[in-house]
Amino acid sequence: MASAGNLLPQVSQNELQAMAYSDPLTGLGNRYRLRDKVRLLSAERAQDPAPFTICIANLDGFKPINDLFGAEAGDEILCQVAHRLKACIPDGATVTRHDGDEFAFILPLVFERLGAERIGQMMKDVLSAPYDLGDRNVRLSASFGFAIYPFAGEEFEDLLKSAETALYRSKRRGRGQITVFSQEIAQEMKRSTQLEQALRTAVIADAVDAHFQPIVRLQDGAVLGFEALARWIDPDLGFVSPSIFVPLAEERGFIDALSETLLRKAAEAALYWPHDLFLSFNLSSAQLMDPGTSQSILATLAQVGLDPRRLELEITETAVMTSADTAHRIIADLQAHGVRISLDDFGTGQSSLGRLRDFTFDKVKIDRAFVSQITTDRASEHIVKAIVAMCAGLDLEVVAEGIESVADAEKLTALGCEMGQGYYYGKPVDAAATQRYLQQHYGTPRS
């Protein structure tokens, strides 16, 4: 009688090895295949180190699609991606499934940056075509990171790390980007990581401060409120611009902690202002994608004791467009509690009129790009005039940003703009200086 073991199918050593080096979903090679091929190629070229290139590609936005349509649809997309990549890679190249929604390539005949970028653009175009899921089509983009041997590393691990660094920089720049590793990029990423660590420490230590810039009534210069602006002076780095550290906090996933700290500080300062002055505060795109944002903001106001009706939140059109449904719910919830919403940087987006139709805003802020040229450029003047007239018809308040001279203020007043802010009326200053300013102008708080 045959033993039970003999009834099992016999698997050869070659088959076992093939299984260990293959991705079961797509049939492509896996990380081990990539590693061995890179090591073999580098050994072949060790004596005469002719360059070759490796690449990692990541599908942009794959996780939301996988969550929305299910894992089966996600697997189907990955299989279609694998099929397209096998069909389009150059002769002698190898494609593997690296991890999840990432694919890796070995390109033996790509020797320099321009060649890598051309290959990247070709693969990007191939992957951007619609994916057929039977009852629906979906679209994806892909980001790419390239590393060229031996300049980006001679060992597999170093080369792979360089490609991952390049890919990370691509993802930072947005969707569908292509980056070839260089020492400049490595230094940039190193500085960014150092900055991130310093900023995280500053947030924990409560060292990022809120400064305040007045928003005035143009007719007589009376202060109506203040916009809170983040300011950070690091002991080692010195002054760090918010245009650098705020996007970094968004990208690295701790914008909520930074924003909560700044809102608390700003609200505490506003308690000592005349009670009819409002506090304007900026929300990031990441916060408008988080369903817990409205609850967090209202909890902070309650903790401090600031009336929500004194708070205005500034959001950009780009932030609204990132996750429109979630943003709509957050805005509606906050407005139901008395918080007012301003659309910031108006006129610089691609569909601002559509945003005004789809969302209920209380105020529009005209971007400084138009205001700065209002006295010298007729096109800018007519754009501002049209925005003011349109907002009057929609019963929206208007604030002009970036006013730097009396001529700017007079021109805006003549065009019917009622509110403004800029260096002409005051630079951002800390809470103590803001309080001194108010005491000089108003004496005791207005109720």
**In whole angstroms, what is the distance from residue 257 CA to residue 315 CA?**
18
Q: Which DSSP state fits 445?
A: P
Instruction: Write the pLDDT tens digit of every residue in 277-293.
Output: 999 999 988 898 888 99
Nearest by Cα to 138 from 147, 146, 128: 128
According to the model, what pLDDT value does residue 286 have?
86
For residue 356, name the pLDDT band (cuts at 50, 70, 90). Answer: low
Given a cut of 60, is residue 11 above it in pLDDT?
no
Residue 213 near residue 428, CB atoms below 8 Å = yes
pLDDT exceeds 70 at position 151? yes
Secondary structure E strands in 43-84:
52-60
* Residue 252 reports pLDDT greater than 60: yes
What residues contact 381, with CB distance under 8 A and at least 6 apart? 374, 375, 411, 415
Report d(CA 171, CA 153) in Å as an integer.
22
Give CATH 3.20.20.450 domain extents, the chain. Answer: 192-442
Under 8 Å between Cβ of 31 and 121: no
For residue 329, give Cα distances in angstroms to 204, 232, 253, 340, 365.
30, 32, 22, 14, 22
- Stated pTM of the model: 0.71
Could you tell me the two tokens for 142?
């892909």
Q: In the block, which residue shows the tokens 């790009």?
A: 369
Cβ neighbours of 99 (radius 10 Å) = 13
Residue type, 28: L
Q: What element of type H or E holds 346?
A: strand 340-346
User: Which has more pLDDT, 119 or 375?
Assistant: 119
Cα dihedral value 306, 309, 311, 313, nearest 10: 140
Per-residue model confidence (pLDDT) at position 4: 46
Here the tokens at position 358 are 């789809």
Residue 49: count of CB within 10 angstroms of its CB: 12
The Cα 343–Cα 319 span in angstroms is: 10
Q: What span, in angstroms and rounded, lies between the C-alpha atoms of 200 and 86? A: 43
CA gap 397, 418 in Å, rounded: 8
> In the CATH hierarchy, which fold is given to the domain comprising 14-181?
Alpha-Beta Plaits (3.30.70)
What pLDDT digit, counting tens, does each position of 62-110 carry? 888 888 888 899 999 999 999 999 999 998 999 999 989 999 999 999 9
- The mean pLDDT value of the chain amounts to 88
Query: Residue range 402-416: average pLDDT?
Result: 92
Measured distance CA(4)–CA(139) in Å, rounded: 50
Distance CA 58, CA 61 (A): 9
pLDDT, residue 374, reads: 87
Q: Please state, as a whole number, how many other Cβ atoms lie within 10 Å of the Cβ of residue 349.
A: 17
Of 357 and 127, more confident: 127
Confidence of residue 13 (pLDDT cuts 50, 70, 90): low
Residue by residue, DSSP assigns 91-160 as TT-EEEEEETTEEEEEETT--SHHHHHHHHHHHHHHHHS-EE-SS-EE--EEEEEEEEETTT-SSHHHHH
In this prediction, residue 3 has a pLDDT band, given cuts at 50, 70 and 90, of very low
Dump pLDDT digits (tens) for 296-340. 999 999 999 999 999 999 998 777 766 778 888 999 999 999 999
Cα–Cα distance, 166 to 175 (Å, whole number): 14
Q: Tell how far CA 415 is from the center of its chain.
A: 35
Token pair of 423, please? 């260096």
What three-state secondary structure class fits 49? coil
Q: Spelled out in words, what is the top-level CATH class assigned to the domain 192-442?
A: alpha beta
Residue with tokens 């209380």: 362
Start-end ranges of CATH 3.30.70.270 in the chain?
14-181
* CA 270/CA 111 separation, integer angstroms: 60
Provide the 10 A C-beta neighbour count for residue 319.
22
Question: Quick one: what percent of the chain has pLDDT higher than 70?
Answer: 91
